[in-house]
Structure 1
Amino acid sequence: MAVLAGRRALVTGSTSGIGLAVARALAQAGAKVMLNGSRVAADAESTRAALAAETGVEIGYTPANLADPASARGLVEATIAAFGGVDILINNAGIQHVAAVDAFPDDTWDQLLAINLSSVFHTTKAALPGMKAQGWGRIVNIASAHGLVASPFKAPYTASKHAVVGFSKAVALEVAEQGITCNALCPGYVRTPLVEKQVVDQAKVHNLPEERVIREVILAAQPTKQFVEAEEVAAYAVFLCSDAAKSVTGSAPLIDGGWTAR
């Protein structure tokens, strides 16, 4: 029997990258999955239909502007309306902007914190009452190795991910006796569209071929000199959502190729 058969999951930022890999893994484990992302409607429907055909479980899609509190809460409400509840909440949506603090645009700071951090609060707040009522729930927040260590020119991103780790620990303590777990997964560099853009930008800044940028700049701190695969993060997320991980809560497990072992 699939380990998550009958469970109902919401994954934010799940039409590409890590989020889509997590959504696919949850569906393969038997869970119904609500997708969310910023793709145009036709692309999102194509992704939804393909995943449903591939996994044979019910897959939904709901757009939401996660920078807006009402839209973030509405995403949970839409999932409840479609599936009858939310058992699993994966907060994955995030954005990045690389710049020195004194050159960082104010509006970008506000948007980054709204999506990377505040949306995690709003979706969690909306999902917890139902989880408490049924005495079971899994919350997995996709943080980052930057939730534990820092890099220059990424102060806002680092701040947001440190905050997600702290938020996850606090929520875990609040609901520890109610059958609900909350953890913050901390991947190192995963080759996603967000990271691909950084490779291109850094190649221009350093005047280096992209292959050298990957090894000497992007993966300089990652001892394996290999990107983490999105599927690795997804497999860990499925474990955290399973009954086998019922005692794993308030943790910030790393999948970082040895980055933070230095």
Structure 2
Amino acid sequence: MTPRTPFAAAHAAPLDLGGRTALVTGAAGGIGRACAQRLAASGAKVRAVDRDPEGLAALAEETDGVEPVVLDLTDLDAAEAAAAGCDILVNNAGLQLVRPIEQFPPDVFHTVLTVMLEAPFRLVRGALPHMYEQGWGRIVNVSSVHGLRASAFKSAYVAAKHGLEGLSKTAALEGAPHGVTSNCVNPGYVRTPLVERQIADQAAAHGIPEERVLSEIMLQDSALKRLIEPAEVAEAVAYLCSPAASFMTGASLVLDGGWTAH
């Protein structure tokens, strides 16, 4: 793996979210954990949603203001109910499988679309009534460079992220008269367990050794030859909740190290 780039808390922009309630999915690790910690540090009460009770317990123990909510997002009714009353919604949870289309298991395709597209729709649906009532809300969808570009062997993930982009834009148009913004954050490869677990599958799919995957596959199209850190993505999420971003909606904030500049 590439060396870490330090991102100290001192680099974080001041943000006061006192009195706000945020819901973050996939909060037990990776990007979701970093987002939960960043929003809690800004004064928000954070509903940390994940299906990993141990990871949530560790997060809550380390972070003041975090309420762990153990939830499998394939339970769509429960997902929608969990979002009621939140001011900030961060749709982050995701999963990945790397396979050619003709070998991609249909049940996994269905699960990926359920967790990464249908569940965000239900969470937005559950959150909007409160946001509309108070005239303020922030929806941040953690998309990906794969919401803007495709890669081979990732049909379900790419389809879900492209769909999430469309959902986010629709929510932006509908939410604008009610003081609600909706945006995507689009990172390249992030230093998370989800990315690290892809390496063996990528090596098999492309017929190369695992040690060549990072440089030849994951970072091949990136001008900056490193992984982005979860805290850097969390800072972009925090920015979209700030007063400085109040006119930003229906947008995709790209953090891809120059990938889409090609």
Q: Same fold by TM (over 0.5)?
A: yes
1:153-178 residue CA offsets vs partner (Å, 9 max, x unmatched): 11221111011011101110011111
- 3-state DSSP of counterpart to 1:253: strand
Query: Aligned pair in 2 of structure 1 residues 43, 12: CA closer, same or farther (>3 Å)?
Result: closer
AA aligned to 2:74 is A
How far, CA to CA, are the matches of 1:208 and 1:104 in structure 2?
22
**Structure 1 contact 199–218 (Cα < 8 Å) conserved:** no
Query: Aligned pair in 2 of structure 1 residues 49, 258: CA closer, same or farther (>3 Å)?
Result: same
How far, CA to CA, are the matches of 2:229 and 2:28 in structure 1?
16
How far, CA to CA, are the matches of 1:249 and 1:42 in structure 2?
35
- 3-state DSSP of counterpart to 2:157: helix
AA aligned to 1:208 is P
Aligned partner of 2:72 in structure 1 is 65
Aligned partner of 1:230 in structure 2 is 230
Query: Given the alignment, which residue of 1, 9, 13 partners 2:26?
Result: 13
**Structure 1 contact 146–162 (Cα < 8 Å) conserved:** yes
AA aligned to 2:188 is G
Aligned partner of 1:255 in structure 2 is 255
How much does 1:242 deviate? 1.2
Aligned partner of 1:47 in structure 2 is 59
Aligned partner of 1:221 in structure 2 is 221
4+ residue stretches of structure 1 with deviation over 6 A?
Answer: none
How far, CA to CA, are the matches of 1:178 and 1:74 in structure 2?
21
**Structure 2 contact 15–242 (Cα < 8 Å) conserved:** no
**Structure 2 contact 145–256 (Cα < 8 Å) conserved:** yes
Higher mean C-alpha displacement, 101-110 vs 125-134? 101-110
- 3-state DSSP of counterpart to 1:94: coil
How much does 1:199 deviate? 1.7
Q: How does 1:1-262 map to 2 (within 5 A)?
A: 2-39=15-52, 41-52=53-64, 58-77=65-84, 85-203=85-203, 206-210=207-211, 212-262=212-262
Higher mean C-alpha displacement, 1-10 vs 238-247? 1-10
Query: What TM-score comes out, normalization by structure 1 length?
Result: 0.91
**Structure 2 contact 223–259 (Cα < 8 Å) conserved:** yes
Higher mean C-alpha displacement, 183-192 vs 216-225? 216-225
Query: Aligned pair in 2 of structure 1 residues 223, 165: CA closer, same or farther (>3 Å)?
Result: same
Query: Aligned pair in 2 of structure 1 residues 204, 18: CA closer, same or farther (>3 Å)?
Result: same
How much does 1:42 deviate? 3.9
**Structure 1 contact 63–75 (Cα < 8 Å) conserved:** no
How far, CA to CA, are the matches of 1:258 and 1:188 in structure 2?
9
How far, CA to CA, are the matches of 1:252 and 1:135 in structure 2?
23
**Structure 2 contact 27–56 (Cα < 8 Å) conserved:** no
- 3-state DSSP of counterpart to 1:175: helix
**Structure 1 contact 7–31 (Cα < 8 Å) conserved:** yes
Aligned partner of 1:55 in structure 2 is none
Query: Aligned pair in 2 of structure 1 residues 209, 175: CA closer, same or farther (>3 Å)?
Result: closer
How much does 1:207 deviate? 4.4
AA aligned to 1:18 is I
How much does 1:75 deviate? 2.0
- 3-state DSSP of counterpart to 2:90: strand
Aligned partner of 1:82 in structure 2 is none
AA aligned to 1:158 is V
Residue-pair matches, total:
248
How much does 1:36 deviate? 1.2
Q: Where do 5+ consecutive residues of structure 2 fail to align? A: 1-13
**Structure 2 contact 98–201 (Cα < 8 Å) conserved:** no
How far, CA to CA, are the matches of 1:108 and 1:96 in structure 2?
9
